[in-house]
Amino acid sequence: MNKRLLSFLLSALCLSVCAEVNYQVIPLPQQISFDKKGGYMLLTEGMTVGYPAGNQQMKRNAEFAAEYLGLSVTEGKKGADVSLTLGLKSSNPDDYAISIGKKGITIQGASESGVFYGIQTLRKSIMNETGEIRLPYAWVCGSPRFEYRGTMLDCARHFFPVSFIKKFIDILALHGINRFHWHLTEDQGWRFEVKSMPELAEKASVRPCTIIGRNIGLSDPDNAIYDDTPETGYYTQEEMRDIVAYAAERYITIIPEIDLPGHMIAALSVYPELGCTGGPYKVWGRWGVADDVLCAGNPKTLEFLKTVYGELCDVFPSKLIHIGGDESPRVRWKACPKCQAKKQELNLSNEAQLQTYINKEMEAFLAERGRQLIGWDETLEGGLSENAAVMSWRGYEGGKAAAKQHHQVVMTPTDNCYIDYYQLKNHDRQPLAIGGYLPLSKVYAMEPVPSDLTKEEAKYIMGAQCNLWTEYVVSPDHAEYMLLPRLAAMSEVQWLQPEAKNYEQFLERLTKLEQSYRRLGYKYCTVHE
């Protein structure tokens, strides 16, 4: 009896000083199977992470794992306590499998990215960093449902420093996100350096003042109250290349967006001849949709766009290049002699087709560089160019129409994916937001593949994305608060099959993930509705 009591006390003591481990993380692995005989492995100081010799990506993976787990790195797998390997048989490169047993830990992936996601799962399984890490013997594997798992950040309305962009990328990596859609230009600011046109970023990145509060619904925004604080900043091409490399190490592709032909007031303030009226224009200090857009009938417009996008392609290796295409009024085109002459020349029946003309020109330009055009669902209105992809934000209908036409689609409807909306019903308990109400539960409830698509049409839904617009998001802390924990809900939408989702169980697992948020110093909404 005394020996049994002593054994029990020693076991209890071990549990009290060992770090808690739980493999039910976010996003939830597809399979968690424990060794029927029990047992556990202790990770302690001095242990090593081994990787295949000569593979630089796996070396970086090993360095990440060693950093997260407090271990050291060794080239080659022989004798390593944590072995990183390739060769998992799967058609999905992001699939991973983790084996914890007597011989140590093996994290295997169908590719280097799969190994990375396995490392992230193991990292999130460890609840705290105190004491030894006690890992139950188990087999854990995961496979994402969608190839495209995105998040958009608007850095045009408010500029965020490079240090935060890298932190943002780290947050995406923690949640298994693999696409960072970077919104770089707007009526309110131009953040992309174009070396052949240096004054574009130097001047168009400066907003002298910003409207105080909301201007939505105001009859005369020009007479609203503005602050006296300039909003400035743009990213040099060197900074952006560094960020691209930083993201690539975390298996995140950056999809840049330069919006056209609308949301171009900042650019027109520098090059007024590209507008239908000739200006003058000034960088907008208010929010909303401007009537002034790029002139579709001016040949200099395409010259300007091809110069900008040419340099954009030099910086960003992404296959997809986002051209925006949303919220572009055509009132100026209807009154513009140049636009009407172009419409007649091309034998077009309406102004919407002028936008398609620009889109097709840009699609051909990008195709010459091995790229693919993607735009918001308004690009459908004048007839979608042949190989273009669509982001469906005005509900699901645009995405469904595009899928029926066999165009690739990313679903990002406002009702489920616009995380610039309030998270709580009580607006007074939160920072200022654009309006709306998008609780955690509604993000989690999203289903990217509409049920009325055929099996063949459904194949064109490449994934889902949440969007953080920043009219009222003015600081990194505010951005993190709007992002988290709704990004966790989106990650399960992107990774899990519909039948595997369970909101109540998700909330239980979220309490564990929030421990990581606190440990990492992330700001997040602590109330879940």
pLDDT tens figures, 423-475? 999 999 899 999 999 999 999 999 999 999 999 999 999 999 999 999 999 99
- CB contact burial 26-48 (16+ within 10 A = b; e otherwise): bbbbbebeeeeeeebbebeeebb
Residue pLDDT, tens place only, 397-424:
999 999 999 999 999 999 999 999 999 9
Helix (H) or strand (E) segment spanning residue 492? helix 486-495
Query: In the predicted model, is pLDDT for residue 240 greater than 60?
Result: yes
Kindly state the average pLDDT of the residues 193-222.
90
With a pLDDT cut of 90, the percent of the chain lying above it is 89
Residue from 277, 300, 299 nearest 290 by CA: 277
Phi, psi dihedrals of residue 106, rounded to the nearest 5°: -120, 125
- Give the pLDDT score at 484: 98
| pLDDT band, very low/low/confident/very high, at 45 (cuts 50, 70, 90) | confident
- Count, residues in the chain: 529
Residue pLDDT, tens place only, 82-117:
999 999 999 999 999 999 999 999 999 999 999 999
Residue pLDDT, tens place only, 135-180:
999 999 999 999 999 999 999 999 999 999 999 999 999 999 999 9
Query: In the predicted model, is pLDDT for residue 15 greater than 50?
Result: no
Contact 108, 150 (CB under 8 A): no
- Give the pLDDT score at 216: 73
Residue pLDDT, tens place only, 471-508:
999 999 999 999 999 999 999 999 999 999 999 999 99
Provide the mean pLDDT of the chain. Answer: 94
Kindly state the average pLDDT of the residues 310-336.
98
Q: What is the dihedral of CA 164, 170, 171, 172, to 10 degrees?
A: 110
Map residue 507 onto helix, strand or coil.
Answer: helix
Residues 6+ apart with CB under 8 A from 115: 58, 61, 84, 85, 86, 96, 107, 108, 109
**CATH 3.30.379.10 region(s) of the chain?**
18-142
| pLDDT band, very low/low/confident/very high, at 14 (cuts 50, 70, 90) | very low
Kindly state the average pLDDT of the residues 355-368.
96
Distance (Å, whole) CA 403 – CA 129 = 46
Q: Are strands 138-142 and 96-101 parallel, antiparallel or unpaired?
A: antiparallel
Residue from 17, 80, 14, 21 nearest 47 by CA: 80
**CATH 3.20.20.80 region(s) of the chain?**
148-520
| pLDDT band, very low/low/confident/very high, at 13 (cuts 50, 70, 90) | very low
Distance (Å, whole) CA 352 – CA 295 = 13
Q: What is the assigned CATH class of domain 18-142? A: alpha beta
For domain 148-520, the question of CATH label 3.30.1050.10 is answered with no
- Give me Rg for the CA atoms of the chain: 25
Structure tokens at 395: 């509900």
Residues 6+ apart with CB under 8 A from 496: 27, 28, 145
DSSP H helical segments within 369-484, as ranges? 397-404, 414-417, 440-444, 455-458, 476-483
- Give the pLDDT score at 128: 66
- Give the pLDDT score at 79: 87
